[in-house]
Structure 1
């Protein structure tokens, strides 16, 4: 088909809304008529939103990994830096013993020069709706959409102007559905907890001070989990109790929710972190029995249930799954679509564990050396960072 002119506009839009974002960009090269039609759709906010909804309905899951390796810079000089790889896990027939995957390199902009023939490193990575937020330090924060090959360096935070290049204690990135804008949240845990919020498309950061009744000693994990307009962090008070700090992107208000009761866990917790599972905020808790041979791994998954009253901070937790004992796995990643739990074995190979059937399946990856460090989930989209 060389032209769309014989098809109704709404039919063309519906067809194109199901085409993956990167394929749609490539289709622009087919002909001038295709270029014009697709360019018009990509510039239409309603089509971009519809395309994003369809993208979220796909059964495949994509994850970004990084590995540090030597390569040539733009001057041909040997240097070292991070390489970003995108792994798409294709959730096929559950009767298969293997899951196919596709691995590709993401073309993300390099950070500032780190000196001594070493590139600086993107230390924190966030993702929301196809936009990746990269953080090198307080002075270098960038958002980009690799599919559209768009990047935007954010203005200096007020903290960076006054203090320096120290990394924030915690950060978050997500969408304000009321204002229809994406926002970046940076938090510094100093004498007082200072917060700055940047709205994409503006040229400044706005300062907040956390309410005094929020007794926060430290951020247990610097990265936030974003779900339905709210960023969540795990924080610890001065008495050593963990809780969830939440930030409503639309109201720009902080509130605290309780942490699940982990007192029945018999062993010391190795790792615990927030994730999103089946549209719920989930806490993944990993622990091992070091008294047994091979140190078997146990995993418990709790989900946050919103209180029917609608009051912020009135959520509760329910234990959804218990996994284990399992051996020969060194790390857990997160829950992906179709109730598959992703883990890495001692050889860095990915293994998917179905939470309902308890079946393990090997994820076929041809270049496992590129899977050194998991960064974040990712969805290819047409959301622009320039128009926001």
Structure 2
């Protein structure tokens, strides 16, 4: 009997990179090798249906792929009722997308085309869905430890916020008095958080000094806010652009654009961020871009691709653009003509095969 012929690994990976993501989830049980392959970020990045940005307008959602060329696809969401809402915020949370509306939000995995609604029964137009995290001891998906932090202005004292936590497992809300442990006089900036190891991180400022910024985090395990580190540069102007992102999956990157000179700086943390341990955080200057033709970045989203900086931003007319920068110059800029509505929301969104967690009541119903 002739020995069984095996396909080369490269051919298997190339074939699987053309399989729809929904099917890849089912294929995890084929073998341990395939299961490990689907957790490999390089495989996800090389998949033919991967993308780097999500854009949302009042009528449509789009994905934007970067490599080898800019490709824009309109996304079919399959989310009943979404057409009657206009998104107000998009946050990338560890492969999930948090799409906040007036009084509700959709937690969405656009790669798997899975979604789940969250609704808060309050008459509050300024509701802010801050991000998704989990108790960092609950790392297994079956633990269902995902939670969402929500805030809105206090009617009795507009300078303070009301905070609530949504638990995915019980599908319930609870009130939370949020206080800064060990630090006082800190105000969170109106920028989206990033989620790393279940912890939410923000850039914040001192109330008495609006130009002095720090990095803070919210721990879902004990439900407290702490100062994490100072930022790697000194005083800032209140009009400077400052955006925090995840770098290399386990570190932070920080983009700063000076509103006067338009110079862009990228800083990254030298070491891996483990859980929520703060202390001495070492930042390194990763890149600078300072040329006469740099655009004004308006609420940019970005990621670092090897030694290049890839940014999605809008111009003064609200038209969306992709900018690629490196070697202290603007390498290319591409207008996203497919997105016709002005001022689209946008964020980075790296594909994930992690399914949207169900509530315990739905799990029980499925088992009956």
Considering the TM-score relative to the shorter chain, is it more than 0.5? Answer: yes
Partner of 1:210, secondary structure, is: coil
**Counterpart pick for 2:55 among 61, 65, 71:** 65
Partner of 2:172, secondary structure, is: coil
**Counterpart pick for 1:342 among 288, 310, 326:** 310
Change (3 A) 1:61 1:107: closer
Q: How many Å separate the matches in 2 of 1:151 and 1:302?
A: 34
Question: 1:124-163 alignment to 2 at 5 Å?
Answer: 124-137=89-102, 139-154=103-118, 156-157=119-120, 160=121, 163=122
For residues 167-204 of structure 1, the C-alpha deviation after alignment (integer angstroms, 9 at most, x for no partner) is 34560123555313433222345455543333323221
Q: How many Å separate the matches in 1 of 2:233 and 2:149?
A: 29
The alignment's C-alpha RMSD in Å is 4.1
What's the counterpart of residue 348 of structure 2? 377
Q: How many Å separate the matches in 2 of 1:250 and 1:313?
A: 19
What's the counterpart of residue 330 of structure 1? 296
1:51 and 2:38 matched: yes
1:228 and 2:228 matched: no
Q: How many Å separate the matches in 1 of 2:168 and 2:28?
A: 19
Normalising by structure 2, what TM-score? Answer: 0.71
> Any stretches of 5+ residues in structure 1 without a counterpart?
1-5, 29-37, 68-80, 93-99, 114-118, 290-295
Higher relative contact order (CA 8 A, sep 6+): 1
Change (3 A) 1:112 1:147: closer
Question: 1:13-92 alignment to 2 at 5 Å?
Answer: 15=12, 19-20=16-17, 23-25=20-22, 40-41=26-27, 51-54=38-41, 58=45, 62-67=52-57, 81-90=58-67, 92=68
What's the counterpart of residue 230 of structure 2? 259
1:209 and 2:181 matched: no
For residues 42-63 of structure 1, the C-alpha deviation after alignment (integer angstroms, 9 at most, x for no partner) is 689x877752433676267510
Preserved CA contact (<8 Å) 1:131 1:143: yes
Q: How many Å separate the matches in 2 of 1:311 and 1:382?
A: 28
1:297 deviates by 2.0
What's the counterpart of residue 186 of structure 1? 150
Preserved CA contact (<8 Å) 2:320 2:336: no
Q: Give aligned pairs, total.
A: 330
What's the counterpart of residue 266 of structure 2? 301
1:132 deviates by 1.8
**Counterpart pick for 1:352 among 324, 331, 335:** 324
Q: How many Å separate the matches in 2 of 1:24 and 1:18?
A: 13
Runs ≥4 in structure 1, deviation > 6 angstroms?
46-49, 307-310
> Any stretches of 5+ residues in structure 2 without a counterpart?
360-368
Preserved CA contact (<8 Å) 2:91 2:98: yes
What's the counterpart of residue 246 of structure 2? 276
Preserved CA contact (<8 Å) 1:247 1:255: yes
1:385 deviates by 1.6
Q: How many Å separate the matches in 2 of 1:268 and 1:217?
A: 15
